[in-house]
């Protein structure tokens, strides 16, 4: 089907995937001065993208199910990974994540994960608060008006699980590690910077 505009038709043929930023976010996710918090908006759009399910289709292209784009119960991503993706500083990313957590748009947990050869502490996991994300998408609702709808942080939710041998247990959603030197060095360097 053609629109009558060659450029529109060509753009329509592109398979654009990735972040979608609802326009109301620029009015609703703001600093106290009323200016849009572009770093927080960008990071929230990225996190929401990761939580949008991937549709599973059969050979006839019928939808047969859905799955997450990541392993485990929450998305694992470091401040540095966000900074590298978007060209922000690590400080800008941390401040934006703090802002999203403080304004009840995001849940952040730090976990200890382990594999057979390495233990990593303070691995960051993030999850959007769906009800509040929906509010800032659909209505004029500044982030300062949002309230927490999350269960309070308790020692059971934040302390690492300890196995019988005294080592931290592998968390659900933790990265699968093969013990290779490349992965080990990457994670050591990544956490040294944080």
What residue segments make up the domains of the chain, in order of their start? Answer: 6-193
pLDDT of residue 143: 83
Q: Of 186, 29, 35, 30, give the one whose Cα is nearest residue 118.
A: 186
User: Could you tell me the two tokens for 182?
Assistant: 């490349």
- The model scores a pTM over 0.85: no
- pLDDT tens for each residue of 8-49: 999 989 988 889 999 999 999 999 999 999 999 999 999 999
- Specify whether the CB–CB gap between 24 and 140 falls below 8 A: yes
User: Could you tell me the two tokens for 86?
Assistant: 């978007």
Mean local confidence (pLDDT), 163-180:
41
pLDDT of residue 45: 97
Q: Tell me how crowded residue 189 is: count the other CB atoms within 10 A of its CB.
A: 10
pLDDT at 182 over 60: no
- pLDDT tens for each residue of 92-148: 999 999 999 999 999 999 999 998 889 999 999 999 999 999 999 987 887 888 876
């Amino acid at each position: 089907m053609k629109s009558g505009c060659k450029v529109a038709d060509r753009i329509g043929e592109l398979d654009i995937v990735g972040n979608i930023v609802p326009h109301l976010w620029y009015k609703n996710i703001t600093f106290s001065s009323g200016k849009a918090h572009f770093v927080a908006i960008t990071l929230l759009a990225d996190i929401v993208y990761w939580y949008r399910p991937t549709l599973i289709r059969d050979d006839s292209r019928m939808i047969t199910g859905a799955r997450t784009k990541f392993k485990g119960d929450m998305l694992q991503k470091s401040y540095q990974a966000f900074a590298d993706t978007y060209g922000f500083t690590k400080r800008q990313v941390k401040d934006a994540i703090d802002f999203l957590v403080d304004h009840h748009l995001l849940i952040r947990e730090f976990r200890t994960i382990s594999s057979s050869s390495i233990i990593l502490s303070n691995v960051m996991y993030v999850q959007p608060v769906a009800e509040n994300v929906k509010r800032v998408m659909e209505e004029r609702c500044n982030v300062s008006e949002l309230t927490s709808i999350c269960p309070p942080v308790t020692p059971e939710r934040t302390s690492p699980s300890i196995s019988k041998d005294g080592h931290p247990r592998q968390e659900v959603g933790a990265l699968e590690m093969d013990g290779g030197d490349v992965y080990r060095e990457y994670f050591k360097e990544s956490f040294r910077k944080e």
